[in-house]
Amino acid sequence: MFCPYHVGIINPFFAAKSDLQLNYYARSCPNAEEIIKQQVIKLYHKHGNTAVSWVRNLFHDCIVKSCDASLLLETVNGIESEQKSERSFGMRNFKYVKTIKEALEAECPMTVSCADIVSLSARDGIVLLGGPRIAMKTGRKDSKGSYLWEVENSIPNHNDSIQSVLSRFQSIGIDAQGTVALLGAHSVGRVHCVNLVHRLYPTVDPTLDPDYAKYLKVRCPSPDPNPEAVLYSRNDRETPMIIDNMYYKNLLKHKGLLMIDQQLTSDPITSTFVEKMAADNGYFHDQFARAVMLLSENNPLTGDEGEIRKDCRYVNSD
């Protein structure tokens, strides 16, 4: 039986400058990373889609200002949750972050940050999804507020041009190769019909494989789907719960679900990387590990810049 934790550690090629360090909790909470890993595994076996949620949480949290768990804050006491943004449409399983946090609080009260839970749960979720093991640093602190007003400008939209997406990632230190690799996370999970139908109706996008378009129309039969209805298509029909290079192989067959996916094959900067990743899963995993690590180290709060929340949903009361 395949055990994803036997995968060797990928050593990313370079590290972002920060005060983060490997094994930050070695003295203050020696079992912290093992507790998170075991909780992630337990949740995965109960609810497989939690692993996908952890990866998406990392992206949505870290690309908005800082990797500081601002995403997890709920709307209360003057704080407007980032989860209210349209960019957060379809995100779920936030309630299980509380499960992980409670296990840590039982062992080491007020020691492990929610921001590190976001990063480490993503790291461990990636392994469960067949992706690379990433040497991830810790020591992030939690924000004392949310940045709802920055979400729209920070998180690329699925209809954005490839140039604007590359520019956005470049602004946080992730190059074109890394951006193409990060989009490979679209090899798992699903896309809601709300984000698909503009490629199907009133006419089918000519860059979409005609047979694939027919299948998608079965999945999304209405040009005006109800956002409350869970109508969706899997990102990858062949290996829907494995982070692998099937995503890039599908792009080369004109089977990208989102506009941003398919644009990767038509842009001269990104198309070369698509072809290389489609041909070599190991190369994709190396680049994915490097990009995830860089994303996880975006502008972290350290020292006295933030706090350790007792409950990831709320800032601490003074």
Q: What is the mean pLDDT of residues 224-243?
A: 88
Task: Cite the active site residues.
Answer: 60
Q: What percentage of the chain exceeds 90 in pLDDT?
A: 86
Q: What is the pLDDT of residue 18?
A: 56
Average pLDDT of the chain, as a whole number: 92
Q: What is the pLDDT of residue 231?
A: 83
Name the packing angle between helices 32-46 and 50-62 (round to 10°). 130
Q: What is the pLDDT of residue 21?
A: 97
Q: What is the pLDDT of residue 89?
A: 87
The helix (H) or strand (E) run that includes residue 178 is: helix 176-182
For the stretch 238-288, pLDDT in tens is 999 999 999 999 999 999 999 999 999 999 999 999 999 999 999 999 999
Q: What is the pLDDT of residue 170?
A: 97
Q: Is the pLDDT of residue 138 over 80?
A: yes
Token reading at 162? 């490839």
Q: What is the mean pLDDT of residues 204-220?
A: 96
pLDDT band, very low/low/confident/very high, at 290 (cuts 50, 70, 90) = very high
Q: Is the pLDDT of residue 303 over 80?
A: yes
262 within 8 A of 207, measured Cβ to Cβ: yes
Q: What are phi and psi of 141, to 5 degrees?
A: -105, 165
For the stretch 95-134, pLDDT in tens is 999 999 999 999 999 999 999 999 999 999 999 999 999 9
Q: Is the pLDDT of residue 6 over 80?
A: no
CA angle 265, 268, 274 (to 5 degrees): 40
Distance CA 263, CA 163 (A): 10
Q: Is the pLDDT of residue 226 over 90?
A: no
Q: What is the pLDDT of residue 188?
A: 95
Distances, alpha carbon 183 to alpha carbons 12, 264, 272, 276, in Å: 17, 9, 15, 14
Q: What is the pLDDT of residue 9?
A: 43
Q: What is the pLDDT of residue 227?
A: 82
For the stretch 14-36, pLDDT in tens is 434 458 999 999 999 999 999 99
For the stretch 144-188, pLDDT in tens is 999 999 999 999 998 899 999 999 999 999 999 999 999 999 999
DSSP states along 11-25: --S---SSS-BTTTT
Q: Is the pLDDT of residue 4 over 50?
A: no
Q: What is the mean pLDDT of residues 50-57?
A: 97
